[in-house]
Amino acid sequence: MDDMKIMNQAVLLRLGGEAAALATIIRKKGSVPRDVGSKMIVFREGTILGTIGGGCGEGEVIERAFEVIETEIPVKHTVDLTKGLFYEDGGICGGTFEVFIEPLSEKHKRL
């Protein structure tokens, strides 16, 4: 999905949609699935819009996004794909990337 469509959806959510979180890759090192600037929206019920790479790393970010939705506190999360060359999902990346996860809600908009 196009990052511009994701940003348009993020604006709509911030203006009064359901609670969600926006995850954006802000730094990468080594071999990772997506580039800096890649975005994904995580909705409270577990659906996502966009991707930051899939697999185990994206799963970690989704879990952290649920925390951000509940607490409304932005976080920076580091995904380390160097802990093993092969994952259960077949991934063979060997780098790290940092993701900034921010809430998209009415309450956060007022802060």
DSSP string, 22-74: EEEEEEEESS-SS-TT-EEEEETTS-EEE-SS-HHHHHHHHHHHHHHHHH---
Of 1-5, 13-17, 39-43, 93-97, least confident by mean pLDDT is: 1-5
Provide the pLDDT for residue 100: 98
pLDDT of residue 1: 57
What pLDDT sits at residue 107? 59
Q: How many domains does the chain have?
A: 1
Q: How far is CA 21 from each of CA 8, 30, 54, 88, 102, rounded to the nearest angstrom? A: 14, 26, 17, 27, 5
What H or E segment, with its residue span, contains residue 21?
strand 20-29
Find residue 28's DSSP bridge partners. 97
Q: Cβ(81)–Cβ(95) under 8 Å?
A: yes
pTM for this predicted structure: 0.83
Statement: residue 93 has pLDDT above 90: no
Placement of tokens 């309450």 in the chain: 107
> In this structure, what is the dihedral angle of CA atoms 98, 50, 32, 55, given to the nearest 10 degrees?
100
Please report the pLDDT score of residue 109 as a whole number. 46
Range of the domain at 52: 3-110
Residue 2 pLDDT exceeds 60: yes
